[in-house]
A and B are shown apart, each in its own frame.
Chain A
């Protein structure tokens, strides 16, 4: 009896060992790839961040400990803290506007009797389908250009002074936000539109019988019902907004054609310190700080998700 149990246990163990061996041999190429191309460079970035590597010390750099981190976090004039503040402001402004506008658009798309709704849906989704960087470049030259951009042509036609849309901080921030909304709204509208359709109609009918106004119905039925459905997408979008690089870089800070605005998100800041002022050590420290922040965010959000289950 005992021997039989033992044999059974052995077989189980053997099976387990075979499964492990199988799993690792099948996933080995992928894991090695990730280890070499993703993880190792991150660790190496951590190492560079503790050196004074820059254009003059490309090979003969020295280990300087946490000096770069001190420069970033304690010296306000270095601009990292400002960039961090701008990034947070950027994320909040963009997410609030996105959610509000997308909610209104999706609600209107679901108005009863709207025959052309599928036409509108397809047209509204268009910016999502375009390659992002192409759209941004088209906005930059086609719309915002101060000489022949369409916006200034309209301004002149209306008898107003032409505006330098990317020329100073505040207006450039607004222009960048506009382009970012243009790029991001189609996804958000699609998500909320889908969520709205999954809400059971009968809730509204009974609320209507109780005499609830549109605002009350929205607040007490629609929003609570769609919140869990859209939450994952909203989380992902918040991440992408926080990590946004293309919009701000391509519109205002391309090498050789800066527009005069000096708004930085932490990502464009890290890029500028690395590839324009060539301060690799410092820039790597910024990268590690950003990575740290993203890690904390995703740990917090993932932890929450598990609790909910």
Chain B
């Protein structure tokens, strides 16, 4: 066998391998997709196929008409935007100060932040509950916003500081000589240059709030105060009562924005995460 035919055979084998792997990787999602489009309730039948014989959008309609999804969406959006505004509003100036200024306590605080970054907020859930409940903040959006901002504040500060470090100081010094004030240096020069990291940090905050379910189900008691994630969680908990097709439709609807964001920002995402501040 010549070297060339051998290489062709290897290529065919590799392609077959990847086609199989890709199929198995996508199966859970494809299956949910096909169930969500299936008109007959053929789940229990053994003649299930990936392409439903009778397609319907009934399940998607049911998600919006039978479940309070729009209300959950509203709650999620309010939480996400509030968390975003607070954590970026406080995080950007702090990240700038930690990146540009040298002051006593800086190193110690940065070290402390790394350690805090390792701490899963899940572990202080009891304490947070105990602290928020006398203030009447359990079962309110404010309570969840407080929890989420705390979790994201460390990340936002640390991640953006890492990026600011890579922007050359000389540009600001030149601006300073031209008579720009500190505030002008930041708003006119640093912020435009830092757009990628701000976008990635903002995206991570939004995705976090969009996906967070464990605080939401424990701190929110009524289903009308649920976020999308908590609502979806409550939908699957009743999966046995036969709403699996509706659940899969809802899952895909909830995932869609995240998928779009991910693939739109894929390059930034991987770069922002691997070259950003997380590395230390």
Q: Which residue of A lies closest to B147 (CB)?
A: A37
Chain B residues within 8 Å of A23, by CB: 97-98, 101, 103, 106
Residue of A45, A125, A267, A305 near B126 (CB, 8 A) is A45
- Knowing A27-B98, A30-B94, A38-B154, say if A141 contacts B236 (CB, 8 Å): yes
**Which residues of chain B from 64 to 123 have a CB within 8 Å of any chain A CB?**
86, 89-91, 93-94, 96-98, 101-104, 106, 109, 113-116, 118-123
Chain B residues within 8 Å of A130, by CB: 29, 255, 258-259
Q: Which residue of A lies closest to B27 (CB)?
A: A150
Residue of B122, B254, B278 near A236 (CB, 8 A) is B278
- Name the residue among B21, B109, B229, B274 with the largest chain A CB count within 10 angstroms: B274
| Distance, CA A41 to CA B154, complexed state (A) | 14
The answer to whether A114 touches B15 (Cβ under 8 A) is yes
- Name the residue among B119, B229, B262 with the largest chain A CB count within 10 angstroms: B119
A69-77, A105-113, A168-176, A205-213 - the one binding chain B:
A105-113
The answer to whether A245 touches B120 (Cβ under 8 A) is yes
Per-residue CB contact flags for chain B residues 218-245 toward chain A (1 = under 8 Å, else 0) read 1000000000010011001101100010
Residue of A41, A114, A131, A150 near B128 (CB, 8 A) is A41
The answer to whether A142 touches B248 (Cβ under 8 A) is yes
The answer to whether A48 touches B11 (Cβ under 8 A) is no
B23 CB, min distance to chain A CBs, angstroms: 9
Residue of B15, B96, B116 near A39 (CB, 8 A) is B116
A156 beta carbon closer than 8 Å to chain B: yes
Per-residue CB contact flags for chain B residues 128-169 toward chain A (1 = under 8 Å, else 0) read 101100000000000000110111011011000000000000
The answer to whether B118 touches A41 (Cβ under 8 A) is no
A292 CB, min distance to chain B CBs, angstroms: 11
| Distance, CA A37 to CA B91, complexed state (A) | 14
| Distance, CA A68 to CA B102, complexed state (A) | 43
The answer to whether B96 touches A26 (Cβ under 8 A) is yes
Per-residue CB contact flags for chain A residues 167-190 toward chain B (1 = under 8 Å, else 0) read 000000000000000100000001
- How many residues on the B side are at the interface (Cβ–Cβ under 8 A)? 92
| Distance, CA A29 to CA B97, complexed state (A) | 12
The answer to whether B31 touches A143 (Cβ under 8 A) is yes
| Distance, CA A131 to CA B229, complexed state (A) | 10
Per-residue CB contact flags for chain A residues 91-125 toward chain B (1 = under 8 Å, else 0) read 00000000000000100110111101000101111
Chain A residues within 8 Å of B232, by CB: 133-134, 137
**Which residues of chain B from 4 to 40 have a CB within 8 Å of any chain A CB?**
7, 10-11, 14-15, 17-18, 21-22, 25-29, 31-32, 35
A231 CB, min distance to chain B CBs, angstroms: 10
B280 beta carbon closer than 8 Å to chain A: yes
The answer to whether A141 touches B244 (Cβ under 8 A) is yes
B42-50, B53-61, B172-180, B189-197 - the one binding chain A:
B42-50
B243 CB, min distance to chain A CBs, angstroms: 10
The answer to whether A42 touches B119 (Cβ under 8 A) is yes
Chain B residues within 8 Å of A123, by CB: 22, 25-26
B2 beta carbon closer than 8 Å to chain A: no
The answer to whether A134 touches B26 (Cβ under 8 A) is no
Chain A residues within 8 Å of B7, by CB: 112-113
A204 beta carbon closer than 8 Å to chain B: no
- How many residues on the A side are at the interface (Cβ–Cβ under 8 A)? 91
- Knowing A30-B153, A108-B18, A114-B11, say if A22 contacts B43 (CB, 8 Å): no
A280 beta carbon closer than 8 Å to chain B: yes
A218 beta carbon closer than 8 Å to chain B: no
A275 CB, min distance to chain B CBs, angstroms: 6
B30 CB, min distance to chain A CBs, angstroms: 10
| Distance, CA A122 to CA B262, complexed state (A) | 11
Q: Which residue of B lies closest to A24 (CB)?
A: B103
23 contacts between A and B (CB under 8 A): A19-B101, A20-B104, A23-B106, A27-B97, A29-B94, A30-B90, A30-B156, A41-B131, A108-B17, A108-B18, A111-B14, A120-B18, A124-B22, A128-B262, A140-B236, A141-B236, A141-B244, A243-B120, A270-B123, A271-B214, A284-B126, A291-B119, A295-B115
Which residues of B approach A to under 8 Å, CB–CB? 7, 10-11, 14-15, 17-18, 21-22, 25-29, 31-32, 35, 43-44, 46, 48, 86, 89-91, 93-94, 96-98, 101-104, 106, 109, 113-116, 118-128, 130-131, 146-147, 149-151, 153-154, 156-157, 182, 207, 210-211, 213-214, 218, 229, 232-233, 236-237, 239-240, 244, 247-248, 251, 254-255, 258-259, 262-263, 266, 270, 274, 278-280
Which residues of A approach B to under 8 Å, CB–CB? 16, 19-20, 22-24, 26-27, 29-31, 33-34, 36-42, 44-45, 48, 105, 108-109, 111-114, 116, 120, 122-135, 137-143, 147-148, 150, 153, 156-157, 182, 190-191, 194, 232-233, 236, 239, 243, 245, 249, 254, 256-257, 267, 270-271, 274-275, 280, 283-284, 287, 290-291, 294-295, 297-299, 302, 305
Shortest 10 CB-CB distances between A and B: which pairs? Answer: A37-B150, A30-B94, A27-B94, A129-B262, A287-B123, A30-B90, A23-B101, A20-B103, A41-B124, A29-B90
Give 16 A-B pairs besides A124-B21, A143-B31, A283-B126 with Cβ atoms closer than 8 angstroms: A20-B103, A27-B157, A30-B156, A37-B128, A37-B147, A37-B153, A120-B18, A129-B263, A130-B29, A142-B248, A153-B48, A182-B25, A256-B237, A267-B120, A290-B123, A305-B280
